[in-house]
Structure 1
Amino acid sequence: MPNLFTRLRRMRRKTSGIITKILRLPVQFPLVRGMVSYAVIWPTCSITQDYLANGTPIQNVDWNRAARFGFFGTFFMAPVFYGWLKFSSRFFKRKSLYTAIKRALIEQVSYSPLAMAYFFFGMSLLEKKPIKACMNEVREKFWPTYKIGVVFWPTAQTLNFYFISEKNRIVFVSAASFVWTIYLAHMKAKKQKGEIITDDGIS
């Protein structure tokens, strides 16, 4: 019996050690945590936008589109955003309303324009559009999307610091990101000038 209890204690220690290591992974590897988050959030936003715009039931969801959002968000947007956060954090170390608004405004003239163009171009490539069509989509959809972003993010950051308690600020930013990604999905779904949707695809 003593040997049995000793073995059980050892097994429990090993199990708790493994669980602790797993729980530490998101802290040790923030990029992986971000990629996993995008893998869930981006396809969910695609499905949500489709439902809000068209009332599409779950059985009729465009899973190919959701998969494209998941793939692009996970392997392209998440690493780029992580790199930007690491770089910009060097210059915005203080946590205050002024810093948050300043950071949001600077992002709108540095990171955001590149990220938006990257999004429309990359997602169009995943749709197997030719390069010229990808460039046309960037030209047509960039400016309308950018104008909304310039207002949305500074406003969200201001609300976050004025009205949201510190413990809930990350949750608020996550919710704002969810809303913004739904808007990106909406803009991506809009037809380009001269674009016709047929049963065989886009022409």
Structure 2
Amino acid sequence: MFARAVEGGGGSGGSGTGKPVGSGGSGEPSKPSGGSSGGLWAWYMSCLEANPLLTKALTCALLNALGDIFCQLFIEAGSWDAKRTGTFTFMGLALVGPTLHYWYTLLNKMVPARGLGGVGLQLLLDQAVFAPVFLGTFISVLFTIEGKPQLIRAKLEQDLWETVKVNWVLWIPAQFFNFRFVPPNLQVLTANVVALIWNTYMSFQSHKAVAKH
């Protein structure tokens, strides 16, 4: 759910602030082998280690911006509303990134096991408890910022359950695969790809018109 796009690549129960990719066994960083792309990835991982909260918040802001722009231009096929993108970007920076940073820190402390049972319990807590509450909060805060607080209740009644179900369809298998099979140093990248798809959907769903009763 927006989910581990802001995690530090430590996997279920792992630390989100491990050594940057390319660190040697002596603790001294080695030169990245992937040229400019390898250098960029190593730089991002070092930022994640030095400033995890800020890096995750900025990552979410960027992913929210890209998702909203893609939604406006290709899904809705309309003109670009820069103000809407700005609001959605702010949501990633101020709400999504910080909330998920603290939530997954807490989740990994509550369920530190990395085996099949630990992953299953983390998914249960994340998707059955956290996801519905956070999605409702996200929509409510977004509508408040956009000056539509009077429509929050109707919007939640109309779209929250559908949004939660789509969230489950996408994130449960994605997160299970990610934390069970993907190497820790690639989990951030894998989750970011899924998050970009999810943020496009959330932009569309959040801005879908509320039916008049």
- TM-score of the aligned structures, taking structure 2 as reference length: 0.72
Q: Counterpart of 2:192 in structure 1: which amino acid?
A: S
Measured after TM superposition, the shift of residue 117 of structure 1 is 0.5
Q: Deviations over 1:127-180 (max 9, x none)?
A: 101x33122212211100011112221111233356644542221111112211
Q: C-alpha separation between the residues in 2 aligned to 1:85 and 1:23?
A: 18
- Count of matched residue pairs: 171
Q: Give the match for residue 39 of structure 1.
A: 61
Please state whether the residue corresponding to 2:112 is helix, strand or coil: coil
Query: Which of the numbers 178, 194, 203 marks the counterpart of 2:212?
Result: 194
Q: Higher relative contact order at CA 8 Å, sep ≥6: structure 1 or structure 2?
A: 2
Q: Per-residue displacement from partner, 1:87-121 (whole Å, max 9, x unpaired)?
A: 11102223334433331222112211111011110
Report percent identity of matched pairs. Answer: 18
Contact 1:160 1:173 in 2 (8 A): yes
CA contact (8 A) 2:57 2:97 kept: yes
Q: Higher mean Cα deviation, 176-185 or 152-161?
A: 152-161
Q: Give the alignment partner of residue 151 of structure 1, picking from 163, 169, 174.
A: 169
| 2:74 paired residue among 52, 55, 77 | 52
Instruction: Give a deviation string over 1:27-81, Cα, whole Å, max 9, x none.
Output: 132110111112211111100111221334xxx3111110000111101121111
Using structure 1 for the length normalisation, give the TM-score: 0.75
2: distance between equivalents of 1:64 and 1:120? 17
User: For residues 34 and 101 of structure 1, do their structure 2 counterparts lie closer, same or farther at Cα, with a shift above 3 Å needed?
Assistant: same
Which protein is bigger by CA-based radius of gyration?
Answer: 1
CA distance in 2, matches of 1:98, 1:122: 34
Higher helix proportion: 1
Contact 2:64 2:92 in 1 (8 A): yes
Give structure 2 stretches of 5+ with no counterpart.
1-43
Residues 176/24 of structure 1: CA separation in 2 closer, same or farther (3 Å cut): closer
Aligned mates of 1:115, 1:23 — CA distance in 2? 27
Distance, in Å, in 1 between the alignment partners of 2:45 and 2:187 is 22
Q: Note if 1:91 corresponds to 2:110.
A: yes
Task: Note if contact 2:67-2:200 (Cα within 8 Å) is conserved in structure 1.
Answer: yes
Question: Structure 1 stretches of 5 or more lacking a match?
Answer: 1-21, 196-203
State the alpha-carbon separation in 1 of the partners of residues 185 and 116 from structure 2: 15
